[in-house]
Structure 1
Amino acid sequence: MGDSFRFIHCSDLHLGCRFSGISDADEDLGRRLRESVFTALDNIVSFAKKEKVDFVIFSGDIFDSTNETPLTRSRFADAIASMKVPCYIIYGNHDTKRRWENSIPLPKNAFVFPEQITHMYFEKDGRRVTELIGMSFPSMKPNSNYVKSVKKESDLFAIGVFHCNVDGAKDDNYSPCKLSDMKDKDVNYWALGHIHKASILNRMPYVVYSGNTQGMDPKESGEKGAYLVTVNDGAVVDISPFKTSAIDWVDVNIDITGKTDFKTAIDELSKIKKNCIASITFSGRGPLDAILRTGGTESIKEMIENSIDCKISSVIVRTVPDIDLKTREEINDFTSAVISYGNRISGFGRKELIDMICSTTVSQSRKSMFESLSDDELKDIVDDAMYLIIEKMMGAEQ
């Protein structure tokens, strides 16, 4: 009979993240976000105590780049100490430089994997019940497949703790490895870090990214958290996510089709929970397109924030005017000429579009930014310009 135990798998806390761009634009929101990463750590501590877990695994990127300060180091050390259970830690690409490691040491219940594959053991009731195999990043951008070198030393339930990129899950070359490499090893659970989206890549054996504990930007929408893993008789019998994020980024789509009252359209936002940062996309066809295009997104953003208890990170307009463009194009006037010209430009190749967009001195200085856009995003610029001109002309005609 195997032993029973439970552990928390978390990663990518990014303690000390400064959220510089947001802080520059909104000092109060920046302050709240800087504190949110520590609140996520506090939530892990509270959950560990409540569930009385046997140990906790931190799979890298504890700190954010070079932002490990005495404060971030001491707050992490205090959190580890307060859990009073073994905490197994690896460092990833963001925390290879740790200036305060010696002057502010971690408590005795912290077990940090060195920069080569190492075996550690969790003991329960005086007996070894789990073998942990892992390593911290030896450099900021290691390109070796360390997983291939993993070998068990015992017949115990084994956990691999690595900060890595499985099958190119992210467009980088940080410790690349393959899922097949992990399946070939006699390891029962792979506790991975580096990818910020939580995902279970495989179940026999378990290959798991716990994701980051607090969303860092609008692209990391939804609740963030960690996993509670239950092992019984040598097998994983349950793996349950739990929330740690203090502030959630959310994506909201509002379809204006059939709506004539802007207040009715944004009433849908009342369902958004507090302590969220929302990215709002307006879509559909209708008369509200004119308000959205001519009112200015910053003004609309401010109006929405005054209506709901939620911060708005962006307002994206993907609506179309309340007219039949094909029929309107057949009328021989200036508006039809704009539609025809806009449709023709939309059919241009990528290089032609970029050259046309960057035809002024200001836009030419930002050419690299436009070159980074996808073909669809470039086409959206053309369509948005056409729709804006149409709405302004229709407004002038009324």
Structure 2
Amino acid sequence: MKTTQTPPQDAITGKDTASPIENKRLLANDIIGWILQGGVLLSAAIIILGLGLFLGTGGLAGGNLLDFPSSFGQLLTGLLSLQSQSIIALGLFILILTPVIRVTASIIIFALEHDLQYVIITCIVLAILLFSMLTGNAEGSSSSAPTTALTHNFSLSFSAFIFLGAILAGVLGSLLGLGGGILIVPMLTLIFKLPIQYAIGASIISVIATSSGAAAAYVRDRVTNMRIGMFLELGTTIGAISGAFLATLLAPGILSILFAIILIITAIPMIFKIGEEVPQGVKNDRWANWLKLSSSYPDRYLKREISYQVTRTPIGLLIMYIAGTLSGLLGIGSGVFKVTAMDLVMRLPMKVSTTTSNFMIGVTAAASAAIYFARGDILPLVAAPVALGILAGAFIGSRLLMKLSSKTLRYIFLPVILITAIQMFLKGIGVM
């Protein structure tokens, strides 16, 4: 990954044409990129260290997947005794914390830019995120670990196949702004016969890994619109909390079927826009002007700087709330809803929609991850190859995206919408 950005330059003189404000934003992008990349690399290094220690101490012979710390007290005890699964769990926990650190750093960056508006917005997002994590941790720690019978033992082939599947999920997730769970959950439940709660726990890790791994590159490449991401995270985080409370009152199966139908309906307008590279005739609405949401990005496929504006911002925020609610209700990343809202409703370029969705999904998932981590639903020996594979796939996908056209991305995205709709329908009728 590159470590610096190239400021906008005059096409004739080659001189830097960026304003002081633009230079500050470029520096902010670099800082956020470094934080995300640093968290990802540190997490991956600790996970690899734990796996190496596990194999080096004979863990391969009969190492059971359920032999891992299921509470933070056990995690600390295991770390003090250099227990391999505890070290792996520490790497996963650092990965979970990376989006939280990114949000915290954004507050400092906006403060240095004297952007009080976004300091307030980001503080609200952080407060919602911490509230969700703390209440979720308290709820999760009071429940016992799942008692579903699980006889799987760790093996190199078991880990290798999960790793390879996760690479594919990471490529698709980073290209399309999704979390990777659309492949991870079916793979772990249908192929590896793991209980659904463990598959969802690994899926949450895949969402954070995709978000952090791909966003590090996209933010530095100036494709991600961080202001849009931070503003829309108000809707997704509040929605996630709402979904968690509604899950005890509503029937998720009926909602799952309903939103499968909605997904199919939302795919229809995208078919008619299949060949659109950049939205035309879009004008900022009042909210977009007030929030300074319009921006530009360098498109390597079109070989020029693309400027864009934003419309129907309030409707986009409402859809983000619904997407967050779905995450809490159904245990999905709902990246497909985020991308669809930004692409079709707010009329952002497809590449900005997918990269900004990538930027956002890790924050929502981090709140959910606290619950799954405390409940013991995240198996280190399953989540470790998932995380490493997702990170590798996200790196590959982030390199591919800038070379692809929006038309190609839509050709990939539409079948994913269909697959997601089928999965949600089957989940609604109790098949999955």
TM-score by structure 1 length?
Answer: 0.26
Larger radius of gyration: 1
Structure number with greater CO (CA < 8 Å, separation at least 6) is 2
TM-score by structure 2 length?
Answer: 0.24
Determine which structure has the larger helix proportion and give its number: 2
Determine which structure has the larger strand proportion and give its number: 1
